[in-house]
Amino acid sequence: MRLQPSVTTSKQLLEQPVILAQHLNHYFGEGDLRKQALYDINLDIYAGEIIIMTGPSGSGKTTLLTLMGGLRSAQEGSLKILGQELNDATKQQLTKLRCNIGYIFQAHNLVTFLTAKQNVRMALELHEQYLDQDMDALSTELLEIVGLGQRVDYYPDSLSGGQKQRVAIARALVSRPKLVLADEPTAALDKKSGRDVVELMQKLAAEQGCTILLVTHDNRILDIADRIVYMEDGRLADHPDLVAAAE
């Protein structure tokens, strides 16, 4: 496991980063109420890396994650995701980018009137290349991989918290995105389910070669990361405990 700042390997020098932030600032509000939430963020993340972003409440993790996901507009500095510059990006460019990112949020956002399989299938329907494929079979296959082969026709209300989160993982990964962004995916889970969920993400990421950026307060899962990024007061910083542990 490495700590931020990263040591760029020679292999990575040849690659385009999946995420590249340079001098990124972000502000909320206007006029006198304008408040800076992110300060001079510089970060490069490469294909296949699992990055955990951690830090105190209010330090700017979700703001940065939603910027990276094209869910809010980048205002100042540069943010390139999968080669697309997000500062000044058009709505169409953002929409296209969002189709290539898998999202997993704490409140898993499953559609309650759709079954597990239909929830997963929804993610495939966004992609033209899957429209002439057997989307039900692909969705079932992913649900089997996450251990829900016996629950494909269940509605979210009849699944446990861990099972719902696994449906959300299946939905995020079924279209084989190059980038998965996860915000507190284990927050609502007990220790064992939380561990199972992140190990599953780790396994699937390795198999599919995708990059995972995971925001968490959950210290129990830090060991799955290739690299830990720590945020404090809107800035990337060295993690105090982890630095001490590494010394």
Ligand X SMILES: Nc1ncnc2c1ncn2[C@@H]1O[C@H](COP(=O)(O)OP(=O)(O)OP(=O)(O)O)[C@@H](O)[C@H]1O
Would you tell me which residues interact with ligand X (CB under 6 A)? 28-29, 37, 55, 57-63
Our CB check for ligand X shows the closer of 60 and 102 to be 60
Question: With left for phi above 0 and alpha for psi between -120 and 50, is residue 9 left, alpha or beta?
Answer: beta
Least separation in angstroms between residue 53's CB and ligand X is 9
How many alpha carbons lie under 13 Å from residue 13 in its C-beta half-sphere? 4
In this structure, which amino acid lies at residue 159? L
Our CB check for ligand X shows the closer of 26 and 164 to be 26
Q: E strands within the chain?
A: 2-3, 19-28, 35-45, 50-54, 76-81, 84-85, 101-105, 179-183, 211-215, 227-232, 235-237
Least separation in angstroms between residue 13's CB and ligand X is 31
How many alpha carbons lie under 13 Å from residue 125 in its C-beta half-sphere? 7
Our CB check for ligand X shows the closer of 143 and 229 to be 229
Q: What is d(CA 179, CA 173) in angstroms, rounded to the nearest whole number?
A: 9
Our CB check for ligand X shows the closer of 196 and 218 to be 218
Least separation in angstroms between residue 62's CB and ligand X is 3
Least separation in angstroms between residue 79's CB and ligand X is 15
